[in-house]
Structure 1
């Protein structure tokens, strides 16, 4: 079945947010009396939402109130510094243009809060780039819950099997699988190729330019 739509993860897939997230998280940890984490820890911490990040970043003896304090500090700090170094990955703008030429509908699904997801996308992409942008909110639980992905499928009037999902984490691969979509791994993101394949990726692309011909090939095999 030919792919008619694609969902993109945001952090680690469309945008390189690693430095800004790590800086804000480390400032939050130190402000709350905990040690900062080295930046090379953050690829494994990012992807499940901010509470998930601090649940993994804090010492094991930390409690829910510690997480609450860190999350509150992070929201204040990141709101001021979220775009200090963040930028689209090389090749992303060209990828989007190629997929648009092919006629695919395109959406973003992030575990960032919805309003902030919209703000991030608007800062780096023209208004008409994506047909739908969805972040975490009352009607959209964080991934890997498939609710957000399935809402996008309904909005696009697509069967999930007609849709691709490009992401860089195990959470994205599991989201795609639970929604009945084909998962593709972004090899330039935060997790390893081996992890993405183990978690259900049909394939992992090392550069955005590899995705359009891969979709053509996969479509042709079905």
Structure 2
């Protein structure tokens, strides 16, 4: 019997791809570089914004100083636009309500910069009590390092094996397995079933409410 759920944010709870892509494309346009479509950006996300910036730049422009310059600009642009189009996926509100009704504890562990993670969560998830919200930065290494997930486990007072970790990417599945949590991959996010299974997904769900059936 599971006692809590740790969620990834982008591609799992919130569809943020348009705001991410629009912000990075603005940076590329400012540098007179080619932009990318939303589908392509789904392959860039998952390992933090700096990694996304590097992936979005042409290989001829990936020296460290230019990546850092574009990263700083991306953070400025995205900070102003991180909730312009971003919204919860259909069914997420119902899922979170059901988890609350079952008295399950909920937390978030994201590779999005912590300040941006908190900003999005405060706007989109204000209706639900969250035990802990962790984004990238400070003393917490990026996923798939399990340190953040284990910190959440400790904060919740729930053993890792009694927690589900729910995400949309291979990085999330690695994080779940590295921390000893049950790895749940979602198919409405940014990656496909093949990547989820290859990286250790133990359960695959097609719709948010499918998670409820997997809890017992």
TM-score (norm 1): 0.93
SS at structure 2 position matched to 1:19: helix
Identify the residue that residue 120 of structure 1 maps to in structure 2: 120
Post-superposition offset of 1:136: 1.1
Pairwise mapping of residues 47-62 of structure 1 onto structure 2 (< 5 A)? 47-61=46-60, 62=62
User: How big is the shift at 1:52?
Assistant: 0.9
Pair 1:41 & 2:40 matched: yes
Q: Deviations over 1:176-199 (max 9, x none)?
A: 111111110111000001211111
Q: Who is 2:170 aligned against?
A: 170
TM-superposition CA deviations, 1:129-165 (whole Å, max 9, x none) = 3121111121111111111101001111121111100
Partner of 1:208: helix, strand, or coil? coil
Match of 2:190 in 1: 190
Give the structure 1 partner of residue 201 of structure 2: 201
Report the counterpart of residue 102 of structure 2 in structure 1.
102
Which TM-score applies when normalising by structure 2?
Answer: 0.95
1:82 is matched with 82
Distance across 2 between alignment mates of 1:112 and 1:18: 12
Structure 2 Cα separation of the partners of residues 69 and 16 of structure 1: 26
SS at match of 1:108: strand
Matched, 1:67 2:67: yes
- Contact conserved, 2:5 with 2:107, CA < 8 A, in 1? yes
* Aligned pairs (5 A) from 1:205-216: 205-216=205-216
CA contact (8 A) 1:141 1:147 kept: yes
Q: Greater shift after overlay, 114-123 or 56-65?
A: 56-65
Secondary structure, in 3 states, of the residue corresponding to 1:37? coil
CA 22–7 in structure 1, closer or farther in 2 if over 3 Å, else same: same
Residue 45 of structure 1 contacts residue 53 of structure 1 at CA under 8 Å; is this kept in 2? yes
**2:4 pairs with 1:9:** no
Residues 9 and 110 in structure 1, CA contact (< 8 A), matched pair in contact too: yes
Contact 2:96/2:128 (8 A) holds in 1: no
Partner of 1:146: 146
Q: Shift of the alpha carbon at 1:18?
A: 0.7
Name structure 1 gaps, 5 residues minimum.
Answer: 217-222
Aligned residues of 2:49 and 2:113 also touching (Cα < 8 A): no
Query: In the TM superposition, what is the alpha-carbon distance from 1:128 to its structure 2 partner?
Result: 4.1
Could you report, residue by residue, the CA deviation over 1:97-139 in whole angstroms, capped at 9, with x for unpaired residues? Answer: 1111112111011111212211110101225431211111211
Residue 131 (structure 2) pairs with residue 131 (structure 1): yes
